[in-house]
Amino acid sequence: MSTLSKVKTYGQSIWLDNLSRTLIQDGELARLIKEDGISGITSNPSIFQKALTDSPYYQADMARLKTTVDDAEKRYEALVIPDIQAACDLLLPTYNQTLGNDGYVSLEVSPSLSHDTDATVATARRLHATVDRPNVLIKVPGTAAGVAAFERLTSEGISVNVTLLFSITQTLRVLEAYIRGLRKFVAAGGNGRNVKAVASLFLSRVDSHIDPKLAAIGSEQALALQGRAALAVAKLTYQRYKQLFHGEYFADLAKVGCRPQYLLWASTGTKNSAYSDVKYIDNLIGAETVNTAPNVTINAFRDHGTVANTVEIGADQAQNDYLALENLGIFPDEVGEILQVEGLKLFADAYQQILLTC
């Protein structure tokens, strides 16, 4: 059993934060699933921008589509949806073996819709129907409009990955919206067992934003907090997750077989070379979580990662670190709002580049 596969013994799934036709055609994705137990895939506009630029497998289709399809967005979807479908098919055995709890592939709605609830819902419905696989997750952003769309989609039984979350408050809004939507779906006669959702909490960007602020303060206390903000946010969010989904608030839904909305640790590639390259995996392994990581981080964890039940270790220290940051005038919830705006822009820019390429 590989190091990556052993993580499953603690109830965590490892997903690949990457997708391209090269990974599929060259058999690398199938190998990762078979040998390392990779049990899901996330994609986003930045990932597909790189894939369309670097992979030779799109060029013929791209040339053909430019002569037959007038709309760039439709050409983009025609290029990437077959990849999503192929990845879903590779992961279908995982989906079936876990009775629908794992084995998902994520496809994101256009970032241009991040502040339009109705358009997000309509696009998510269309993409869900077009992919036509039981193990697709439609990604919507954790903006106010995106959270409202998520609640509506959940009430319709559509499985969703809510992305671009950077704080405890943002994540809790999403988890609560899931429960409200799920309750509506079940009340209307839906089978809650058929609904899956994850909440993607981005980590390394939190430290990348806060660390320079701590360096500027320069005190011994401030410098000691560098590299600890993201883990504090994640560990405290996990505690709130447990309170929500393993208490009275979710009990009625749990009785009819509904699943909690798992926390998904995203942005887990370490950006600061002074930190361990497996920092955001080693320290956040635990039940009912997902960690989605790029290839380089997956390779690093396979080589020297430590498998242990770590997500709840240091919860008290996480609370102390969080309060210490606030005492220094650094408020993680405010940082989360800044990072969400920045993340949306990055994805929107990548999406526009895709449309120019297509």
Q: Alpha-carbon distance 172 to 234, whole Å? A: 12
Mapped onto helix, strand or coil, the DSSP state of residue 235 is helix
Spatial contact of 143 and 115, defined as CB atoms under 8 Å apart: yes
DSSP string for 6-58: HGGGGTEEEEES---HHHHHTTHHHHHHHHH---EE---HHHHHHHHHH-GGG
Work out the angle between the directed axes of helices 248-255 and 168-187 (0-180°, nearest 10): 40
Phi, psi angle pair for 296, to nearest 5°:
-65, -35
- What separation, in Å, do the N-terminal and C-terminal C-alpha atoms of the chain show? 41
In the chain the beta strands, taken as DSSP E runs, fall at 12-16, 40-41, 104-108, 136-141, 160-165, 197-202, 262-266, 289-293
Q: Which of 8, 74, 139, 235 is catalytic?
A: 139
Q: Alpha-carbon distance 5 to 13, whole Å? A: 9
Give the Å distances, CA to CA, from 308 to 9, 50, 128, 285, 305: 9, 33, 36, 7, 10
Indicate if 139 belongs to the active site: yes
Q: Among all residues, which ones are annotated catalytic?
A: 139
